[in-house]
A and B are shown apart, each in its own frame.
Chain A
Amino acid sequence: MLLTGERTFDPAPFDAISYDLCARRSDVVILSADLSKYCQVVRVKNELPEQHLDVGMAEQNLLSVAAGVAKGGYIPIATCFACYITRRAYDQMMICMGTGSGPGTNRTHGPTNIAVGFTPGIANPARIHHQAAEDLGMVRAIPNAAVIDPMDSTDFRAALDAAVERPGLTYIRGHRGNTPRLLDPAQFTFELGKTYRLREGSGIGIIATGHASQWALEASDLLQDRGVDHSLLHVPTIKPVNEIEIADFSFAHHRVVTIENHQIVTGLGSLVAEIVSDVGGGPRITRMGLPNRWAPGGTLPYIRAQLGLDAQTLAMRIEGLAR
Chain B
Amino acid sequence: MNRKRSRSGVSILELEIVAAKIRRNVLEICRGQGGYAAQGVALADIAATLYFDEMRPDGKGWFFDRFILSNGHDAIMTYGALAESGHYEMEDLKTINADGSWVDQSPIEGQPGFEITAGSLGQGPSQAAGLAWALRRQGSNARVHCLFSDGELQEGNVWEGAMFAGHQRLSNLCYIVDNNDMQASGHTRKIMSVEPVDEKFEAFGFKTRRIQGTSVADLLDAFEDARATTDKPFAMICDTKPWDGIDCLQKAQPLAHFTAKDAVKWDEGIAEIDAEIERLEAERTQ
Binding site for B on A (CB under 8 A): 29, 50, 53, 55-56, 58, 60-61, 64-74, 76, 91-92, 95-96, 99-100, 105-107, 110
Contact A69–B117 (Cβ < 8 Å): no
> B127 contacts which of A50, A53, A65 (Cβ < 8 Å)?
A65
With an 8 A cutoff between CB atoms, is B85 at the interface? no
30 contacts between A and B (CB under 8 A): A56-B164, A58-B160, A58-B163, A58-B164, A60-B123, A61-B160, A61-B161, A64-B157, A65-B127, A65-B133, A66-B130, A67-B116, A67-B130, A68-B68, A68-B127, A68-B130, A68-B134, A71-B131, A72-B137, A72-B138, A73-B134, A73-B138, A91-B123, A92-B123, A95-B120, A96-B117, A100-B109, A100-B117, A106-B109, A110-B109
Chain B residues closer than 8 Å to A106, beta-carbon distance? 108-111
Classify the interface of chain B: helix, strand, loop or mixed: helix
The digit string for B71-112, where 1 denotes a CB below 8 A from any CB of A, is 000000000000000000000000000000000000011110
Contact A71–B127 (Cβ < 8 Å): yes
Chain B residues closer than 8 Å to A29, beta-carbon distance? 134
Chain A residues closer than 8 Å to B117, beta-carbon distance? 95-96, 99-100
A321 to chain B, nearest CB (A): 44
Contact B109–A72 (Cβ < 8 Å): no
Name the residue on A nearest B162 (C-beta): A61
B254 to chain A, nearest CB (A): 28
Chain B residues closer than 8 Å to A96, beta-carbon distance? 116-117, 123, 127
Identify 17 new A-B residue pairs, CB closer than 8 A, beyond the known A65-B130, A95-B123: A55-B164, A56-B160, A61-B160, A61-B163, A64-B123, A64-B130, A64-B161, A65-B129, A67-B116, A67-B127, A68-B129, A74-B134, A92-B123, A96-B116, A106-B109, A106-B110, A110-B110
Contact A68–B160 (Cβ < 8 Å): no
Task: Give the docked Cα–Cα distance between A99 and B135 (Å).
Answer: 22
Contact (A61, B110) CB under 8 Å given A72-B135, A92-B157? no
Interface centre among A58, A61, A70, A110 (most CB of B within 10 A): A61
Task: Give the docked Cα–Cα distance between A92 and B134 (Å).
Answer: 19
Chain A residues closer than 8 Å to B110, beta-carbon distance? 100, 105-107, 110
Chain B residues closer than 8 Å to A55, beta-carbon distance? 160, 164
